[in-house]
Amino acid sequence: MARLCLETLDDFPLVEPGDDLCDLICASLHAAGQSLKDGDILVVAQKIVSKAEGRYRTLADIVPGADARALAAETDKDPQLVQAILDESTEVVRKRKGVLIVRHKRGWVMAQAGIDQSNIEGGDAGRILLLPEDPDASALRLKEALEKRFGVALAVVIADSFGRPFRNGTTGIAVGAAGLESFIDKRGETDLFGKKLMVSTIAHADEIASAASVLMGQADEGKPVVLIRGLDKSKHVPASALIRPIEEDMFR
């Protein structure tokens, strides 16, 4: 019988710039009488990684350029917010009133470059939170710090909530990962009947992030870390491998 166990680290504190996530996770585990074991996977909400890394901006400090002002008028958005979005992006993919979809400078296609104002101290006063500068590197640093503390082999996934074309609602995806195979290529293997697989690839880290997001929630749950046991981590492939190259985009 296959079995997968997911559990939250409850009563996790609010994270401030400069906080050591390894210390906070260790304290939370200790308070719960828990430890980490070989093969464990920790899924960490992007928001607390960004907060610890100080990825804040304040709208009042942003001077919108002509492009941002024009785009703000088209989308009915704050020009300073639009400028912040453009600063984090390489391309505007779609736009309409209330919606601005861009290609983030790290390759993700997403609403307003992942910039967030919810569950942020000072969000009502114009404080915004950006995605981590390099989520794969952030995941690797946290993985190595936790492994040093516990003397075990771990994996870390940094999860965020994304919308998807042609589907309502958001779901958890991996924006960063270390210690597991984020993207699994099954092409060349065979199915149950010996037929060769031609197109089967798996967004493994996204599946893990989505499972964890069921427990993390999207509102006031305050459960930004989920511990997963029962998965084979296998080899390391970063989450950046999940980004489809522009030349393979069939919907543009």
Q: Hey, what amino acid is at 49?
A: V
Question: Residue 219: which pLDDT band, with cuts at 50, 70 and 90?
Answer: low
| Mean pLDDT, the chain, integer | 92
Distance of alpha carbon 31 from alpha carbon 27, whole angstroms: 6
pLDDT, tens digit, 9 for 90 and up, residues 94-149:
999 999 999 999 999 999 999 988 777 766 678 999 999 999 999 999 999 999 99
- Strand order across the beta sheet in which 155-164 lies: 5-8, 225-229, 41-45, 155-164, 167-178
Share of the chain above pLDDT 70, in %: 96
- Residue 14 above 80 pLDDT? yes
**Tokens read off for 5:** 């166990």
